[in-house]
Amino acid sequence: MIWLRALSFVLLVQSTVVGLIPWWLSRLGPRLALGPWHAVGMIPLAVGVGLLLSCNLLFVRQGHGTAAPYDPPRALVVRGPYRYIRNPMYLSATLIVLGLAFWLRAVSLLLYAIALAGAYQIFVQYYEEPRLTTLFGAAYRTYLVEVPRWCPRLHRFPASK
């Protein structure tokens, strides 16, 4: 049942944020003059998709929950990319949109990526981190100190914590 809940969130919410909305926005506004360099957008797009899928799998397998704020993991997930950065799922969505912006040469998608990053910052700082601190206590407070919010560190957080 958890897999169905996770898949539902991916299909209904995440694919809307990184698929449907960008598809609609990409048809609006001016284009970037990138020439063949637009293909560089495939790199953040591919990294973002892989990261998003791996994070969703970790939430189900390790956290026994989903990425949905109304159905969060029951255990603190500190494995995989979460050992290097606290918010890889939000980073992955931003990377996907940035990749699409370059691939499709859409200024509107660059602006959307900036808006997403700002919205994620506000959501994480004022809702998610306080909530996770309440749920997971000292373990999460240690994680907050050891793992950066947005810029990955090269050394990893111990998965056993």
Q: Where are the domains of the chain?
A: 2-146
Instruction: Report phi then psi at 90, rounded to 5.
Output: -70, -40
**CATH number, span 2-146:** 1.20.120.1630
Tokens of 54: 């791996």
Residue 52 to residue 27: CA distance in whole angstroms = 24
Site of tokens 């100190």: 145
**Per-residue pLDDT at 160 exceeds 60:** no
**98 with 112: CB under 8 angstroms?**
no
pLDDT, tens digit (0-9, with 9 covering 90-100), for 141-155: 999 999 999 988 877
**Per-residue pLDDT at 6 exceeds 90:** no
Residue 111 to residue 153: CA distance in whole angstroms = 27
- The three-point CA angle 92-96-98 to 5° equals 115
Going by C-alpha positions, the residue among 63, 54, 71 that lies closest to residue 12 is 71
Amino acid letter for position 131: R
Query: Rounded mean pLDDT of 119-127?
Result: 96
Classified as helix, coil or strand, 31 is strand
Residue 76 to residue 44: CA distance in whole angstroms = 27
Going by C-alpha positions, the residue among 75, 69, 55 that lies closest to residue 135 is 75
pLDDT, tens digit (0-9, with 9 covering 90-100), for 48-78: 999 999 999 999 998 888 888 788 889 999 9
Predicted model pTM: 0.89
Residue 113 to residue 101: CA distance in whole angstroms = 8
Tokens of 82: 């979460």
What is the CA 18 to chain-centroid distance, rounded? 10
Per-residue DSSP letter, 106: B
pLDDT of residue 159: 62
Query: Rounded mean pLDDT of 111-119?
Result: 97
pLDDT of residue 64: 87
Residue 18 to residue 55: CA distance in whole angstroms = 15
pLDDT, tens digit (0-9, with 9 covering 90-100), for 15-53: 899 999 999 999 999 988 888 888 999 999 999 999 999
